[in-house]
């Protein structure tokens, strides 16, 4: 079977909401520090995705899913800066791959897709943060992202332990004056 990437919009988002919730809960249960503490429930996931849907509807957030038939295997978000002086940048958020679907190149495909869309939208500067020392750091470095540092005790993981983050960026194109 092959993995299909699809950008969601407000009309097809509902078709993937359940799979996205499964993906989110899988990541948290696997220890990902993505804004939630241990043992989140479906209500918390539903509230989170209501916020995601609202941001998609107002155009400030783009969301892609990687799926195999109807099973969501991964996702990534691109938050588009809305400030007039920052229209050249966007933040990559919540790159997630199901724990049993990792090491298949899904994260790389999602990132390449995000980068292509960013160029199309004239967003030449991408940035993100991730947990320092995580497997994700290797992926980002391999894709050409530069680490500019991080903050100690930046956020709690699901286990309640504060962890440092690492901040990365990649310049895709310089803005026109």
Q: Tens digit of pLDDT for each residue in 157-170?
A: 888 889 999 999 99
How confident is the model over 52-58, as a mean pLDDT? 95
In a domain, 177, yes or no: no
Range in 14-28, 31-45, 71-85, 103-117 with the lowest mean pLDDT: 31-45
Does the predicted model carry a pTM greater than 0.85? yes
In a domain, 127, yes or no: yes
Please enumerate in sequence order all residues whose Cβ is within 8 A of that of 128, keeping only pairs 6 or more positions apart, or say none: 91, 92, 93, 95, 140, 145, 167, 168, 169
**What average pLDDT does the chain have?**
92
- CATH code of the domain containing 28: 3.40.630.30
Quick check: 177 pLDDT over 70?
Answer: no
- The C-alpha angle 33, 147, 64, rounded to 5 degrees, equals 55
> What's the pLDDT at 29?
87
Domain hosting residue 17, numbered range:
4-171
In a domain, 80, yes or no: yes
Q: In the chain, how many domains are there?
A: 1
In a domain, 153, yes or no: yes
Q: Identify the three-state secondary structure at position 40.
A: coil
| Sign of CA pseudo-dihedral 92, 61, 49, 105 | negative
C-alpha closest to that of 81 among 70, 97, 92: 92
In a domain, 29, yes or no: yes
Contact 40, 48 (CB under 8 A): no
In a domain, 176, yes or no: no
Q: What is the DSSP letter of 9?
A: -
In a domain, 53, yes or no: yes
Record the tokens describing residue 92, joined without a space.
């990559």
């Amino acid at each position: 079977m092959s993995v299909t990437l699809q950008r969601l919009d407000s009309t097809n988002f509902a078709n993937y909401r359940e799979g996205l919730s499964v993906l989110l809960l899988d990541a948290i249960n696997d220890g990902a520090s993505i804004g939630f503490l241990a043992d989140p429930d479906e209500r918390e996931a539903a509230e989170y995705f209501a916020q995601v849907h609202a941001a998609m509807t107002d155009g400030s957030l783009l969301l892609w899913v990687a799926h195999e038939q109807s099973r969501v295997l991964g996702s990534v978000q691109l938050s588009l800066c809305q400030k007039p002086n920052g229209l050249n940048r966007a933040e990559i958020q919540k790159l997630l791959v199901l724990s049993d679907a990792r090491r298949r190149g899904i994260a790389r495909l999602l990132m390449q897709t995000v980068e292509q869309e960013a160029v199309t939208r004239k967003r030449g500067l991408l940035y993100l943060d991730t947990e320092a020392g995580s497997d994700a750091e290797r992926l980002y470095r391999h894709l050409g992202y530069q680490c500019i540092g991080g903050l100690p005790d930046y956020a709690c993981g699901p286990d309640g332990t504060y962890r440092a983050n690492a901040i990365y960026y990649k310049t895709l194109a310089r803005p026109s004056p």
